[in-house]
Amino acid sequence: MSATLKFCLLQDRFAVGAIEQNADQIIRLAQQAISEHEAELLLFPELALTGYPPEDLLLRPELQQRVEAAIDRIAAAELPALLIFGAPIIDKGRLYNSLIGVQAGQRVLQYHKRALPNYQVFDEQRYFTAGQQPVVFDLKGHLVALLICEDVWQRTMLQQLQQMDVELVLVANASPWYKGREQQRLAQLQDWAEEFGLHLAYCNLLGGQDELVFDGSSFVVDNSGQLVAQAAFAEASILPVELNEQELTGAWEHWPESQEAAIWQMLCMGLADYVNRNGFAGIVLGLSGGIDSALSLAIAVDALGSERCTAVMLPYAYTSDMSLEDAQLQADYLEVPLLQLPIHPAFEASMASLAPHMPPAQAGDVTEQNLQSRLRGLMLMALSNRQNLMVLTTGNKSEMAVGYATLYGDMCGGFNALKDLLKTEVWQLARWRNSLGLSIPERVIDRPPSAELAPGQKDEDSLPPYPILDAIIQGHVEDNLGYQALVDQGLPSEAVAQVLRLIQRSEFKRQQSPLGVRISKRAFGKDWRLPVSSGWILQ
């Protein structure tokens, strides 16, 4: 005869490397869940004690001593509920990605992750040994099992738990987000739950960690595949659930109604967590009057507040009156100060110094264009140094793919909210944000894009039209398609050849670009690892 079991999923931010602070946070959240929901069982995310991914911090010889001290600290709180949280554990000389259970001052259980992902952004086989055994325990008459993230995608593990008559499976996760990921997880686990007759409780990490963003979106599905409890998307949440003999019930919070809303929340969270965790007072960016910097500023204001954002217009001879007007208009919309720092004097002085050492060239050649961009980067970095403001870079994925950016110029900065947004997605997201309230002048969205580094310059003078360019980039980068497969999809052969050539030639730039929020299934970063020097020819 089983009794009612009250448990909670606790999704929150756990900063990488902040082991002592994370331990205190686990205790505080556990006390809150016990007080507010009379919880008897508490599940925290994967590697909550160290944050995820800790990467080569796992190789530090002092790590395990600090982890063990933190586990003792949590146990010493002597909380009445069973607390289950993730931590790296050395067991018989091997390092495991583990779940630890403590209750009433004692360490009562331990589970080692059995499926170690080694694809996309994951390289857990670099650090961990795979566990071998399931862990199943009885709590108030309910047979409960533990899994960690990748484990739950393995049919054989779920079949094994079904054969052991397990009723409830607790899954601790650090599953990074990309577009549509929260719905993919839910749909798959609903299918698993119905197929194997298991209640599945999925607790996910929250927050931005460098380029990765974790959405939370924890949930519980019953053994018929019905969604019975759902935590917030991109917000800290304690999700209470009750399990009795007849049913599983829980609380419910809504997820975003559109993909644009989800992307916006994750961009804002990724930027805010990076700025805050690295101790910056705010951000500074070059506001050019173009769509990329305009969208970047809108994201920054929503993420940090207008009082923590500074915009700078850095005009030169090719900067249009339209750009000056639109930059000022947006600054007024968002109540952000706009500094005016013309680069004419610095440009003329630089060219005069260089003149004796360079052959003559036509005005506006690529050297002069890049010098303009680099002088803007110099000014922004000076403001960053003096005011403790992080320079927010504003290039998009389309530009980074084909190298349409200047090293130490518009690529200069600490973080880039748009790094994984294609240009067509930039326009789409800008229109969506304006539907909630005008934050970007409409003319900025509608005008043809230009770097304004030469007379009459337009992006499409050098590149295919953005809808074609983005289709090629998405097919090649995200879907790993080659030349012939892209052409077979109906894309122009000359454009495909040009773009693939530019992608390959620009690898040296991408490897020197700032971090940025990953929102696609393959971004330029952890899951894009290509050599700079290579004789490989893209086909």
Distance between CA atoms of residues 45 and 41, nearest Å? 14
Residue 325 belongs to what H/E stretch?
helix 321-334
Query: DSSP for 174-211?
Result: -----TTHHHHHHHHHHHHHHHHT-EEEEEE-EEEETT
| Helix 181-196 × helix 155-163 angle, to 10° | 40
Which tokens go with 376? 């803007």
Which residue bears the tokens 């949930």? 219
Distance between CA atoms of residues 88 and 112, nearest Å? 9
Which residue bears the tokens 């190789």? 59
Q: Which residues of 13-29 are buried (b: 16+ CB within 10 A; e: fewer)?
A: bbbbebbeebbebbbeb
Instruction: Tell me phi and psi for residue 94, to 5 degrees.
Output: -115, 145
End-to-end CA distance of the chain: 65
Distance between CA atoms of residues 387 and 312, nearest Å? 14
Q: What is the dihedral of CA 96, 101, 105, 108, to 10 degrees?
A: -90
Distance between CA atoms of residues 440 and 294, nearest Å? 6
Distance between CA atoms of residues 230 and 252, nearest Å? 5
Instruction: Tell me phi and psi for residue 387, to 5 degrees.
Output: -110, 5
Distance between CA atoms of residues 161 and 488, nearest Å? 45
For residue 352, count other CB atoms closer than 10 A to its CB. 9
Query: Which residues belong to the active site?
Result: 46, 113, 149
What percent of the chain is helix, strand and coil (3-state, nearest 5)? 40, 20, 40
Helix (H/G/I), strand (E/B), else coil: 154: coil
In terms of C-beta density within 10 A (0-12 exposed, 13-18 middle, 19 or more buried), how is residue 173 classed? buried
Distance between CA atoms of residues 537 and 539, nearest Å? 6
* Residue (of 229, 304, 522) closest to 401 by Cα position: 522
* Residue (of 116, 141, 25) closest to 73 by Cα position: 25
Output 484-491 pairs: Cβ under 8 A, ≥24 positions apart: 484/539
Kindly report the length of the chain: 539
Beta bridge partners of 87: 98
